[in-house]
Amino acid sequence: MNRRAIIGALMALPMISLPALAHGPSRQKITLTAEVAAPPEEVWAAIGNFQDMSWHPVVFSTEGVGGNDINATRVLTLGKEGGPTIDELLYKYSAEKMSYSYRIEKVDVKVLPVTNYSSHLTVKPRDGGGSIVEWRGAFYRGYPNNDPPEELNDEAAIAAVTSVYKAGLDALTERFGAAN
Amino acid sequence: MAFVTNQSSNDVSVIDLDNGKTLKTIPVGGKPAAVAVGPKGAHIYVVSPDSKTLSVIGRDTLTVTKRITLEGGPFGVAVHPDGRRVYVTDWYNARVFEVAPDTGQVLRIIKVGDSPAGIAVTPDGSRVLSADRDSDQVSVIDTDSGERIATVPVGERPFGVTIDTTGTRAYTANVGTNTVSVIDIANARVIGQVKVQERPYVVALTGGRGFVTNQYADTVSVFDLETLQPVGTIEVGEYPEGIIPSTDERRIYVANWFSNTLSVIDTQTLQVTAEYETGDGPRAFGAFLLAD
C-alpha cells in the first residue's frame, strides 16, 4: 500500500464522538515483524529515538518534549503539514534492550479507529545475521458499545493498525535491505 | 487446576498447576474474559461479553453444560458461597445481574454505578461489591434485600475488586490513578491507598501481602497489607491481568494477556519460578483457581 492509499484509508472513516476512556469489551492485539539485513545497532539508531518518527512513510513530522525519558510526549503529524495528528506518550524505554513502549493519548477515531492503544517497538538480533524489528500493538476498537458500525468494529481496528505497522516495516526493509 | 479464559482463542485452558500441562481446552466462544470457580469447585462460570453469555462448565466433564444469555454487556462474575446465586456485572447498563445458575433465571437486577467491571462476594455471602469503573466508586449490595446500601468513592477507574478472607477489607485496582484503594467494608469507606505501577488491573491477597498486576508495566507490585508499604516488584510477561494465589499461599499465578503465558511466582522469594503456556489472549479475570 502506498503512502497516499494509507492516508486515504485512515481518513475515509466518518467522524463520531466518543466518551473518553470508554471501550468495547474485547481488547485486540497484533504483532508484525520485519527481518532486515542491517545489524540491530544500525536499525535502532534509525528508529530508537522517540522524538523522530521520520522513518515511517506516513509521518510528516514529529514534535515532542522530554526526549527518551519516561512520560516524554510527541505529536505525530500525518501526511502533510496541517494533516491529522496523534498525541503519544512514552512509558517504557530501554536502549540496552533496544525497545520502547508508548501509548496514544489522543487521536480521532476517524484517523485511527482505536481506543486505549498501546504499542511496543523492539529491535532484536536475527539468527544468521541482520535484525528482527518487532512492532506490537494492543488496543480496543473505536466504538465503545455493543454492535459497532462496520468502520469502527474490531476488524476495522485491526486492519488500520496493521496497515500502519506494515507501512513502517516495509519502509525499514527497503532502507536496510531484506535479510537473507 | 486453573481455568484460564483465552479471549482471542475463544476458549478456556484447564491447566494442571503441578506441571503446567493443559489438561483440556474447552471451546466457549464470545471472547471470554471473566471467570469464577464456584464453591467446592463443582461448577465454573465464564462470561463471554461478545455473545452476552454466562457459560456453566461442569467440573466432572470439563464441558459447557449450560449457556445463559444476559442481555446487555455482561462482564465480571462472582459466585455466592451458597452456590445458588451468580453475580454478573452489566458494563453497558450500570447494573448487576443476580442469576440462578440451576434454572438460568435472572432473579434480581441491581442498579449500580457506570461501567461496573470487577465484582466480588464476601465470604459470609452477605455483601456483593462491584467496581463501578466510570463512576470511580464501589457499590455495596446487601444480598438479602437485593438493594445497594452504600457507595464508596475510590481512586479513578477502578477495575478489579478483591475481598479478603475475613470479609473485612476490599481492594480495588484503579486504572486511572495507578493506585489501589483499601476499603473498610463494614463502614463503607476508604482507609488507605497504595501507589502501584502503570495500569493496575486487579489485586490478589495472600500471606499478609497484596499482589497487583500492572498491565502497562509488565509487572506485579507487592505490598504489605498491614502497613500498606511496598515490598517489591516482580517482572512478569506482557500485559499481566488475572492473578490468584494457591490455597497453600506459596504461589501466585498471573495470566499474561499479550505473552499467552501463566507466570508462577514464589510468594516467599518473589521470583518467577515457571511460565506455563495458555491459549491466545489469556485474561482470567476472577477466581480462576480450583483447589484440589
Q: Is B116 exposed, middle or buried (0-12, 13-18, 19+ CB in 10 A)?
A: buried
Q: DSSP letters along B151-202, please? A: EEE-SSSEEEEEE-TTSSEEEEEETTTTEEEEEETTTTEEEEEEE--SSEEE
Reported as a pLDDT band with limits 50, 70 and 90, residue A12 is: very low
- Does residue A6 carry a pLDDT above 90? no
β-sheet bridge partners, residue B153: B137
Does a structural domain hold residue B292?
no
CA–CA dist B206, B179 (Å, integer):
19
Single out the residue of B157, B153, B150, B161 nearest to residue B175, CA to CA: B157
Higher pLDDT, A18 or B12: B12
- Does residue A3 carry a pLDDT above 60? no
* Domain at A27-176: CATH code: 3.30.530.20
CA–CA dist B284, B290 (Å, integer):
13
The three grid cell numbers given for residue A120, joined into one nine-digit string: 511496543
User: Lowest-pLDDT range, A35-39, A129-133, B247-251, B288-292?
Assistant: B288-292
Task: Tell me the one-letter amino acid at B247.
Answer: T
Return the pLDDT at A13.
45
The three grid cell numbers given for residue A67, joined into one nine-digit string: 526526549
**pTM reported for the whole predicted model:** 0.85
- Does residue A7 carry a pLDDT above 90? no
SS (H, E, C) B231-288: EEEEECCCCEEEEEECCCCCEEEEEECCCCEEEEEECCCCCEEEEEECCCCECCEEEC
Return the pLDDT at A25.
57
CB contact under 8 A, A138 and B239: yes
- Does residue A9 carry a pLDDT above 80? no
In the numeric block, the cell 470508554 is attached to: A22
Please list the pLDDT of chain B residue by residue as tens digits (292 residues).
Answer: 999 999 999 999 999 999 999 999 999 999 999 999 999 999 999 999 999 999 999 999 999 999 999 999 999 999 999 999 999 999 999 999 999 999 999 999 999 999 999 999 999 999 999 999 999 999 999 999 999 999 999 999 999 999 999 999 999 999 999 999 999 999 999 999 999 999 999 999 999 999 999 999 999 999 999 999 999 999 999 999 999 999 999 999 999 999 999 999 999 999 999 999 999 999 999 999 998 7
CA–CA dist A13, A43 (Å, integer):
33
CA–CA dist A91, A68 (Å, integer):
9
B31 touches chain A (CB under 8 A): yes
Reported as a pLDDT band with limits 50, 70 and 90, residue A144 is: confident
Mean pLDDT of chain A: 89
ipTM > 0.85?
Answer: no
CB contact under 8 A, B49 and A25: yes
Return the pLDDT at A23.
46
CA–CA dist A63, A4 (Å, integer):
22
Does a structural domain hold residue B204?
yes
Reported as a pLDDT band with limits 50, 70 and 90, residue A5 is: low
Higher pLDDT, A19 or B44: B44
Name the CA dihedral angle for B22, B23, B28, B30, rounded to a multiple of 10 degrees: -10
Reported as a pLDDT band with limits 50, 70 and 90, residue A50 is: very high
Task: Measure B276 CA to nearest chain A CA, in Å.
Answer: 20
Domain coverage including residue B175: 2-287
B258 touches chain A (CB under 8 A): yes
The three grid cell numbers given for residue B86, joined into one nine-digit string: 451468580
At a CB cut-off of 8 Å and minimum separation 6, what does B15 contact?
B1, B2, B4, B21, B22, B23, B262, B276, B278
Return the pLDDT at A19.
40
Return the pLDDT at B292.
72
DSSP A178: B
Chain B residues 49-108 with a CB less than 8 Å from chain A: 49-50, 73, 75, 91-92
Does a structural domain hold residue B52?
yes
User: Lowest-pLDDT range, A71-85, A141-155, B104-118, B277-291?
Assistant: A141-155
Q: Which residues of A touch B198 (CB under 8 A)?
A: 91
User: Residue B139's domain is classified under what CATH number?
Assistant: 2.130.10.10
Does a structural domain hold residue B194?
yes
CB contact under 8 A, B258 and A145: no
Does a structural domain hold residue B210?
yes
Reported as a pLDDT band with limits 50, 70 and 90, residue A10 is: low
Nearest-CA residue of chain B relative to A19? Answer: B134
Chain B residues 156-185 with a CB less than 8 Å from chain A: 157, 176
Tally of structural domains, chain B = 1
Nearest-CA residue of chain B relative to A31? Answer: B258
Domain segments of chain A: what residues? 27-176
A99-116: average pLDDT: 95
Share of chain A above pLDDT 70, in %: 86
